[in-house]
Structure 1
Amino acid sequence: MASAHPDLVCQDLTKDFDAFRAVDHVSFEVPQGSFFSILGPSGCGKTTLLRMIAGFQSPTGGDLRIKGKSMIGVPPNRRPVSMVFQHLALFPTMNIGDNVGFGLRQRGLAKAEIKTRVGEVLERVGLPGVSARRVDQLSGGQKQRVAIARCMVLEPDLLLLDEPLGALDLKLREHMKVELKSLQAAFNTTFVYITHDQSEALVMSDNIAVMNKGRFEQIGPPHAVYHAPDTPFVAGFVGEANKINATITAINGQMMTLATAGAEVKVQRAGADLAIGQDVQVFLRPEAIELLAADPGDALNVCRGVVDTVLFNGANSSVTIRDDRGGLLKVALPQTGSFASLRKGDTVFTRWQPDQARCYPATKG
């Protein structure tokens, strides 16, 4: 069970490269024994942040503490941290046992102790008896576990993972998400995980920090980040979302009336910074939209439309509906039920509830 005491604290951490600010006053805490993911697009600063935690780069400003001790000026080899890279960096000329025990040999431990600890950690990652095998004799998933074993045998306070699943094929990536979460729980070690893949972060994390242009836009558990995004960027980046441009025409308590292109919709108010006459953006998840065969009459947020595309996607189909105003709505449709055989050109009605949408002040661009 995760402790309330943080293993990692970053306070106003900043990194400048000449005139470019890669990390901009980032502050956060990671509790002991938790799985913390930093999610963001390429170039947002997440790898730079991880490299500062590891000690490979020095911050321009701010503080970074591990187990309550400041790491500013402490070299990488003196930090209680291990790191797994995307390409794993296993030594092809060494067998598995020598790969895993490399760090222990660097520390000068006796051969007998190294052998014992290597055997124990390989068993814990589900690879008993493979010490004598070569790296090229292992599958991609087994190599991942060897890379983690090589780090965990050093008993670090933090394990940093820089997009370690990026080089794997889709099926193996899906499998390794579950494996990594299980290994983190088994070792009860704090994981700080860097990824641009939202599904990885949502499946594995206790908390996710969504990063954009050097800043954290939201930190929270996966359910909150997905269902209650704080900003338009988070709403658009984490999961799929329909974006509807609108203007607020009335506010009645927690309910707002919005004018869209040729129609009126109702949305639950989620922020105090919204006012009548203001241009807004509404974000609506595809799975929040219901399909109906007929107009229900007086229901809220109902619109007639025609099926534009149907894309089969395994358990679901992604259906695009072109409404009477020419707008497009993407709908997630299960493969069972009355609409399982939906085809291009079919007429349907869409409906969604006011509390299913998120509304934000409109932003340029």
Structure 2
Amino acid sequence: MTTHTPDLSCVDLVKDFDSFRAVDHVSFEVPQGSFFSILGPSGCGKTTLLRMIAGFQSPTSGDLRIKGRSMIGVPPNKRPVSMVFQHLALFPTMNIGDNVGFGLRQRGVAKPEITRRVEDILARVGLPGVAQRRVDQLSGGQKQRVAIARCMVLEPDVLLLDEPLGALDLKLREHMKIELKALQAEFNTTFVYITHDQSEALVMSDNIAVMNHGRFEQVGPPQEVYHDPQTAFVAGFVGEANKIAATVAAVNGPNLTLRTEAGTELKATAPASGLQSGQRAQVFLRPEAIGLSMTPGDAGEDNVSQGTVTAVLFNGANSSVTVEDASGHALSVALPQTGGFADLRRGSTVYTRWHPDKARLYAAEG
């Protein structure tokens, strides 16, 4: 059977700063030609991890391999990686062609070859004929593509991207998500992308690693991470979620009965939760998993609750509706504009409902 060496692999990687552990025994592999995102909040260790891959910092222990070759002790300029920074770091005194060809000049490549390769890479990123322009003559999106071209002209095995969309406005950021994914597919180069923005990771990635306190809590495709979060942190960090505190009242195989602090009974189907009767639990529900109606529906239906609308926020294709029940607990509901709720107002009486298998259950922290 043929096996393929991953472009990047980290084995039990640790990084300590005195008594603080920034990266805590992280292991993962990134296959050739894939888009791998490391997603997590500020301070979780993701940038430290990226800097170790680039060679700007040395691991305390563990191994880091590119194309099967250990990079421990290999300086940054000798590694087959390039890096796009958040603020791009283009040279304002150089024209676009000189910016893109800078790394080739540092490697001693002949001038005619530099010219040819620069023109070729600019065409591949959709910027033909701009080599003589100044940096300040380009838009934000064009500058992003120049920064990528400057890296890709060096033909790296792995391209590292450290929150490169963070400085862009919202509309351009949405556009660049599509462009980045298209560029990655065009070059078939392995991208390792650092972000705290879940929407960036979900849209662009083949696989996402969700990082928290120096560790990977879950690694998997975007759909799996979103729909089947393995920990309470992942459920709360990736996507929007309602969180309900409850206690397990009964367990019947995969079917659980829970009671909230206000005494409301909930039904949930959670085959692998491991929760036991009497245990405190956290129940997570996606806003789009909750239905809304003006009538109570069938008698005996699970997880139906009467409430009062306290807010209706128009978001374009959807509205975000906040419903508060008699106990004062609020649920956020994602409501399509085509759902027939045009007259829904603050103060309206409604009924929320959700199927038991839509909940994700975890043991309560502490």
Identify the TM-score tier after normalising by the shorter chain.
over 0.9
Letter in 2 for 1:54: A
Aligned to 1:337: 339
Q: Distance in 1 between matches of 2:115 and 2:237?
A: 46
Letter in 1 for 2:285: L
Aligned to 2:322: 320
Q: Distance in 2 between matches of 1:4 and 1:273?
A: 37
Q: Distance in 1 between matches of 2:200 and 2:142?
A: 19
Matches within 5 A, 1:215-294: 215-260=215-260, 261-271=262-272, 273-294=274-295
Q: Distance in 2 between matches of 1:154 and 1:226?
A: 35
Higher alpha-carbon deviation: 156-165 or 327-336: 327-336
Aligned to 2:72: 72
**8 Å CA contact retained: 1:308, 1:345:** yes
Q: Distance in 2 between matches of 1:144 and 1:201?
A: 18
Aligned to 1:20: 20
Aligned to 2:82: 82
Cα drift, residue 254 of structure 1 = 1.4
Aligned to 1:166: 166
**8 Å CA contact retained: 2:253, 2:271:** no
Q: Distance in 1 between matches of 2:40 and 2:342?
A: 34
Aligned to 1:43: 43
Local SS of the residue matching 1:101? helix
Give the number of aligned pairs: 362
Local SS of the residue matching 2:311? strand
Cα drift, residue 272 of structure 1 = 5.0
**8 Å CA contact retained: 2:161, 2:192:** yes
Higher alpha-carbon deviation: 236-245 or 330-339: 330-339
**CA-atom RMSD, angstroms?**
0.9
Alignment pair present for 1:360 and 2:359: no
Q: Distance in 1 between matches of 2:15 and 2:163?
A: 21
Cα drift, residue 4 of structure 1 = 4.9
Aligned to 2:353: 351
Cα drift, residue 200 of structure 1 = 0.1
Q: Distance in 1 between matches of 2:4 and 2:171?
A: 35
Q: Distance in 1 between matches of 2:144 and 2:356?
A: 44
**8 Å CA contact retained: 2:35, 2:206:** yes
Local SS of the residue matching 2:182? helix
Cα drift, residue 273 of structure 1 = 2.2
Q: After the TM superposition, list the runs of 4 or more consecutive aligned residues in structure 1 that deviate by more than 4 angstroms.
A: none
Q: Distance in 1 between matches of 2:263 and 2:295?
A: 20
Cα drift, residue 262 of structure 1 = 2.0
Q: Distance in 2 between matches of 1:41 and 1:325?
A: 32
Letter in 1 for 2:308: V
Local SS of the residue matching 1:325? coil
* Unpaired segments ≥5 residues, structure 1: none
Q: Distance in 1 between matches of 2:62 and 2:356?
A: 42
Q: Distance in 1 between matches of 2:20 and 2:47?
A: 15
Matches within 5 A, 1:5-154: 5-154=5-154
* Unpaired segments ≥5 residues, structure 2: none
Letter in 2 for 1:275: Q
Deviations 1:10-33 (A, max 9, x none): 011000000100000000000000
Letter in 1 for 2:241: A
Q: Distance in 1 between matches of 2:306 and 2:340?
A: 17
Q: Distance in 2 between matches of 1:348 and 1:68?
A: 59
Cα drift, residue 340 of structure 1 = 3.0
Letter in 2 for 1:283: F
Cα drift, residue 326 of structure 1 = 1.3
Aligned to 2:301: 299
